[in-house]
Amino acid sequence: MYNVFMKEFAVIQTGGKQYDVSVGDVLKIEKLPDPSKEGDLIIFDKVLLVDNGQDTTVGTPYIAGAKVSGKIEEIGRSKKILVVKYKAKSRHLKRRGHRQPYIKVRIDSIK
């Protein structure tokens, strides 16, 4: 059965990952190489799929001219994870911590 209340959504690619986004969604993506700050507008041009509820457009691999724009809400680092290397019976133990940087983005529009 066809759902009349389907929201428009898109699949974008950034940071080597693919995300399913709709207008108003908030997502954490990997930190981007360009210098940006909170409140900046960010445009994702690697759009793989767009569905507006009636028809679906699939890219090969990307859709030409399609853009998803959002606003940077927060730039931060995730919780620390411990990376432990251990060898039994040899008194070898290494502990290293890592905090992955991220950017929290609110999706504003899909074009």
What tens digit of pLDDT does each residue of 27-36 get?
A: 999 988 888 8
Over residues 41-54, mean pLDDT: 93
pLDDT at 34: 83
> For residue 54, which of 107, 20, 3, 12 has the smallest C-alpha distance?
3
In angstroms, how far is CA 80 from the centroid of its own chain? 20
Per-residue pLDDT tens over the stretch 59-94: 999 999 999 999 999 999 999 999 999 999 999 999
pLDDT at 80: 97
Terminal-to-terminal C-alpha distance of the chain: 27
- What gap in Å lies between CA 55 and CA 69, rounded to an integer? 21
What are the domain boundaries of the chain?
Answer: 9-76+102-110
